[in-house]
Amino acid sequence: MDKFFKFQERGTNLRTEVLAGVVTFMTMAYIIFVNPGLLSAAFGIDAAAQAAWIPALATATTLGAGIMCIAMGVFANRPFALASGMGLNAVVAFSIIIGLKVPWQVGMSVIFVEGIVILLLVLTGLREAVMNAIPLNLKRAIGVGIGLFITFIGLVDGGLVVAGNGTLVMLGDFTTPAVWVTLIGIIAIMAFMALKVKGDILWGILVATVAALLLNVTKLPVGNWVAALDFRTFAAPFQPVDGGGMAIMQLFTGALAPTLLLFVFATMLSDFFDTMGTVISIGEQAGFVDDKGQVPGIKSILTVDSIAAVVGGFFGASSITTYIESASGVAEGGRTGLTSIVVGVLFLASAFFSPVIAMVGGALPITAGALIIVGFLMMGTVREIPWSDFENAFPAFLTIVGIPLTYNISYGIGLGFISYVLIKVFHGKVKEIHWLMWVVSALFILTFVQPLIQKLIAG
């Protein structure tokens, strides 16, 4: 095991890797419940019909995440965990299935096809070439922006930040138990970190769980602790749909084909750069990034991630992608694929014991403190950005603020890319712009104006 995972080479051991896997799983276990609940809105016409689909969506979510985490550990040997991506699942449910009034199988076919396209880009080397063409300061900014993003997610999940009256956000209500669970979790992690307790984030989550039980924010499972598996959503692109034929064929035929293909492109771009930002930022935190800002062995990572998108569409779980919450396991010392394998095994186990996981993963304030702390840990690279150099610093700045404030990793990256190209042009330094930066910036512009294009096509 030591030889296969390279424990000694990466300065880790079996205990650390297992602990890192448990911590990563705890911080992303919410997806087991959030993803089925969100997607079910597009699967039924009323609350009862939607609830009937949740067991099937839970099976797809947990098995998809479990299988792909194990694949990442075995074939890439990196501590990156995968699960159905937040953001893309909302696009599938509300923009594609509900918005275009297409069968849910067609929505999953969009994800299936975009995953195949990304996989082809990886196998031809183009995806890796794109990542290597990105300026180092933009890569650093992506990590910082994602750190702020997951901190913001933690603040919102924990109730410390809420929608304001007349403002976008405001301080949360300190009379609510959820806020106190979050605060107790943060304070516990800080204390364990100060005392140099190994597994400080995990212990903080456990303390927050106890607080949540005492304050009735969560409850112990009642009744059956085991849930049956339901495979109704599997093979979604190849299931028959209204009008006859397989769902995947509706992407290329019929009146909605142009709009559906635009969504293939849009989800591909989002998936592409969300993963890029996640891999770079976590890779830098783990010490995988070299002097040129590149991650050695990245092709294996990107191949598994691309296949994960295909699997997500096939299972009916929306796009499965590399999770930024992997940073929590890296913060615990995870450096090898065993971390992601542990996460995968826990996801597979949760397919049978989801009522137990609901006690923690279903109560967002329990893991909110961990997200806030991990966001802080990812801020360190901000000092490496040359803030006195406007043409490099301003694109980095737009990336950093764009990611959390648009609540979308790829949008923030797009703002940084476009501004970088424009500033270089204004300074007469066109030759310094890699041709892929031109192409990717143009694609981002196309994505930003996609609603206008859709309106023109529909009109």
48-95: per-residue pLDDT in tens?
A: 788 788 888 989 999 999 999 999 999 999 999 999 987 788 888 888
Q: In which band, very low, low, confident or very high, does the pLDDT at 255 lie, cut at 50, 70 and 90? A: low
Q: In which band, very low, low, confident or very high, does the pLDDT at 115 lie, cut at 50, 70 and 90? A: very high
pLDDT at residue 131, rounded to an integer: 67
pLDDT at residue 180, rounded to an integer: 96
What residue spans define the domains of the chain?
A: 2-381
pLDDT at residue 335, rounded to an integer: 94
Among 452, 454, 394, 443, smallest CA distance to 126 is for: 443
pLDDT at residue 354, rounded to an integer: 67
338-390: per-residue pLDDT in tens?
A: 999 999 999 999 998 767 655 665 567 888 888 898 888 888 889 989 999 99
Residues 367 and 158 sit within 8 Å (Cβ to Cβ): no
Q: How many CB atoms lie within 10 A of CB 174?
A: 10
pLDDT at residue 219, rounded to an integer: 82
pLDDT at residue 243, rounded to an integer: 64
Q: Which helix (H) or strand (E) holds 322?
A: strand 320-322
Q: Which two tokens stand for residue 262?
A: 């635009």
pLDDT at residue 334, rounded to an integer: 93
Please state, in angstroms and rounded to a whole number, the distance separating the CA atoms of residues 171 and 157: 13
pLDDT at residue 306, rounded to an integer: 95
| Contacts with 76 (C-beta within 8 Å, 6 or more apart), sequence order | 297, 300, 301, 303, 304, 337
pLDDT at residue 132, rounded to an integer: 72
317: pLDDT strictly greater than 90: yes
pLDDT at residue 297, rounded to an integer: 85
119-158: per-residue pLDDT in tens?
A: 998 899 887 677 677 888 888 888 888 889 888 888 988 9
